[in-house]
């Protein structure tokens, strides 16, 4: 556990140094942190994954510069990363620590032991445990037992991983030691698939959690039938080929269930900036095109708005495809801009609500507000492109 909860958080130090200076060299960061320049470059790649497309650290000939695309999203992720230096002064970090200990415990864990390990009062630990119980409820996870006799985490392994990925990945897995060979294979995979930092970030996180859980003896034994639909898909075949390479390095077999788990990160990735590359490797089901036609027809009928296909339309088709997979397989992504779209772009958001109705009727999935915000962003661009030329301006979706 020392590896995951320590005060040598290189990622936070690197981000702070780059953020505070207009430019910062890899060489100076390596000297400051007493590591190799190669280690710094790898940390910057991992940091770009964590930033989730809201910001990016460019590295041009060893000179690093921070570029922020979405200030609100960047600020939230940055704050999460910086909190790791506070150790157990943060309730969120304490809850992450307790979850980590409970999910690896071979016998019930005493509350007093948790308090002693975190150097906090027993009442603080009990309060954090109660908050943690409420948070994990929506993942069908429970903490059973009593404070004096011991606590145990109960629930499905897949749901445990989803909770980690969506809530406490930064607390648990910053600077996780994958090894140089594995890291290089990951970055080779990114290049082969032409994945941008945003899409690769999801894949990277899924992979780290999968490897750590497998190697600690917590494998996925069984998945619901809906996940079996991924077997034989283009996403599965891509992951299958990659994990065959990983098996050669690791020296152990990776089960079909684990391959299906990692396939979710490809089948439900955020839409890449360059869909022309990804369409050579991932095929879209015919049903998605029919759904989009029905969505546009209903928007026309209810709002008398015609969406004209433009250069962004192919991206929109892929977005709907990946979004359906995310919703189907229970993988949630956070959208910090959803309130802005709801309040400032009412027509685009109304179009998203119509799309929500069609998708829930036809696919049987429950749309989240975060996903509706992403849909509204696309509709907002379509509306903008259809305005008279003199009113038009260019915007980018990040």
Tell me the CATH number at 208: 1.10.1790
What pLDDT shows up at residue 7? 40
Listed residue (79, 77, 127, 139) closest to 103, CA to CA: 139
Residue 274: predicted pLDDT: 67
One domain, residues 129 and 158? yes
Question: SS3 for 322?
Answer: helix
Give domain status of residue 40, yes or no.
yes
Are 94 and 79 in the same domain? no
What letter would DSSP give residue 305? Answer: -
Each residue of 151-180: pLDDT tens digit?
999 999 999 999 999 988 988 887 788 888
Contact 379, 348 (CB under 8 A): yes
Nearest Cα neighbor of 317 from 348, 334, 303, 296 is 296
Q: Which residue has the higher pLDDT, 391 or 245?
A: 245
The reply to whether 352 falls in a domain is: yes
Residue 168 DSSP class: I
| Domain of 20, in residue numbers | 1-85
Give the model's pLDDT for residue 6: 40
3-state secondary structure of 288: helix
- Do 98 and 159 lie in one domain? The reply is yes
* pLDDT at res. 76: 84
Q: Does 101 share its domain with 135? A: yes
How many CA atoms, within 13 angstroms, populate the side-chain half-sphere of residue 79? 8
| Domain tally, the chain | 4
The burial of 244, by beta-carbon neighbours within 10 Å (0-12 exposed, 13-18 middle, 19 or more buried), is given as exposed
- 128 in the same domain as 114: yes
The domain that holds 106 is classified in CATH as: 1.10.10.10
Shared domain for 183 and 273, answered yes or no, is yes
Residue 229 shares a structural domain with residue 249: yes
Mean pLDDT score, 114-119: 89
- Measuring CA to CA, which residue among 27, 1, 32 is closest to residue 12? 32
pLDDT at residue 86 in the model: 54
Quote the pLDDT of residue 9: 67
Give pLDDT, residue 387.
Answer: 66
Q: Quick one: 299 and 371 in the same domain?
A: yes
295 and 384, same domain (yes or no)? yes
The span from the CA of 123 to the CA of 134, in Å, is 17
- Region 287-316: what's the mean pLDDT? 86
Q: When comparing pLDDT for 314 and 212, which is higher?
A: 212
Q: Which of 85, 116, 147 is the endpoint of a domain?
A: 85
pLDDT tens digits, 184-235: 999 999 888 888 777 788 899 999 999 999 999 999 999 999 999 899 889 9
Q: Give the per-residue pLDDT at 45.
A: 85
Read off the pLDDT of residues 56-115 as tens digits, 9 standing for 90 and up.
Answer: 898 888 899 998 888 888 888 888 777 655 556 678 888 999 999 999 998 999 999 999
Say if pTM beats, i.e. exceeds, 0.75: yes
Asked if residue 337 and residue 302 are part of one domain, the reply reads yes
Of 170, 187, 202, the last residue of a domain is 170
User: Which tokens belong to 195?
Assistant: 């994945």
In a domain, 398, yes or no: no
Mean pLDDT, the chain, rounded, equals 86
Residues 191 and 153 in one domain: no
Q: Residues 357-378: pLDDT tens digits?
A: 999 999 999 999 999 999 998 8
Residues 231-245, mean pLDDT to the nearest whole number: 93
Final residue of a domain: which of 239, 256, 277?
Answer: 277
The answer as to whether 397 is a domain residue is no
- Per residue in 122-137, pLDDT tens? 999 999 999 999 999 9
Instruction: Answer yes or no: is pLDDT of 308 > 80.
Output: no
Scan for tokens 């690197």, then name that residue.
14
Residue 238 banded pLDDT, cuts 50, 70, 90 = very high
Residues 6+ away with beta carbon under 8 Å from 314: 275, 276, 279
Look at residue 2 in the predicted model and tell me its pLDDT.
33
Residue-wise pLDDT tens digits, 250-276: 999 999 999 999 999 999 988 776 666
The reported pLDDT for the residue numbered 85 is 52
310 falls within a domain:
yes
Q: Is the pLDDT of residue 390 over 50?
A: no
Query: Does residue 250 sit within a domain?
Result: yes
Report which of residues 81 and 140 the model is more confident about. Answer: 140
Alpha-carbon distance values, 366 to 132, 297, 358 (Å)? 25, 21, 11
Task: Answer yes or no: is pLDDT of 3 > 60.
Answer: no
């Amino acid at each position: 556990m020392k590896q995951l909860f320590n005060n040598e958080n290189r990622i936070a130090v690197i981000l702070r140094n780059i953020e505070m200076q207009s430019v910062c060299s890899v060489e100076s960061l390596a000297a400051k942190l007493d590591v190799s320049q190669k280690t710094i470059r790898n940390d910057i790649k991992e940091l770009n994954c964590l930033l989730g497309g809201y910001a990016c650290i460019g590295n041009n000939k060893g000179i690093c510069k921070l570029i922020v695309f979405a200030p609100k999203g960047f600020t939230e992720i940055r704050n999460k990363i910086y909190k790791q230096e506070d150790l157990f002064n943060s309730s969120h970090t304490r809850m992450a620590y307790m979850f980590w200990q409970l999910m690896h415990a071979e016998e019930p864990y005493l509350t007093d032991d948790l308090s002693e390990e975190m150097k906090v009062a027993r009442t603080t630990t009990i309060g954090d445990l109660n908050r943690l119980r409420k948070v994990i409820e929506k993942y069908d996870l429970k903490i059973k037992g009593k404070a004096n006799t011991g606590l145990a985490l109960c629930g499905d392994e897949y749901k445990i991983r989803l909770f980690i990925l969506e809530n406490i990945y930064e607390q648990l897995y910053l600077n996780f030691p994958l090894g140089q060979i594995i890291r290089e294979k990951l970055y080779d995979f990114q290049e082969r698939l032409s994945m941008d930092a945003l899409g690769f970030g999801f894949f990277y996180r899924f992979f780290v959690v999968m490897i750590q859980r497998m190697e600690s003896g917590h494998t996925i034994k069984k998945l619901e039938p809906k996940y079996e639909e991924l077997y034989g898909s283009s996403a599965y075949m891509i992951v299958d080929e990659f994990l065959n390479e990983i098996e050669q390095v690791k020296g152990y077999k990776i089960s079909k269930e684990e391959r299906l788990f990692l396939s979710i990160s490809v089948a439900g990735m955020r839409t890449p900036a360059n869909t022309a590359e990804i369409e050579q490797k991932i095929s879209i089901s015919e049903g998605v095109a029919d759904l989009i036609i029905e969505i546009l027809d209903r928007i026309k009928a209810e709002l008398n708005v015609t969406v004209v296909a433009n250069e962004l339309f192919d991206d929109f088709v892929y977005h709907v495809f990946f979004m359906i997979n995310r919703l189907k397989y229970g993988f949630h992504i956070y959208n910090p801009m959803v309130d802005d779209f709801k309040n400032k772009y009412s027509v685009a958001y109304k179009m998203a609500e119509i799309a929500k109705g069609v998708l829930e009727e036809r696919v049987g999935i429950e749309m989240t507000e975060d996903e509706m915000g992403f849909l509204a962003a696309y509709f907002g661009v379509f509306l903008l492109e259809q305005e008279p030329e003199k009113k038009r301006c260019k915007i980018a979706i990040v």
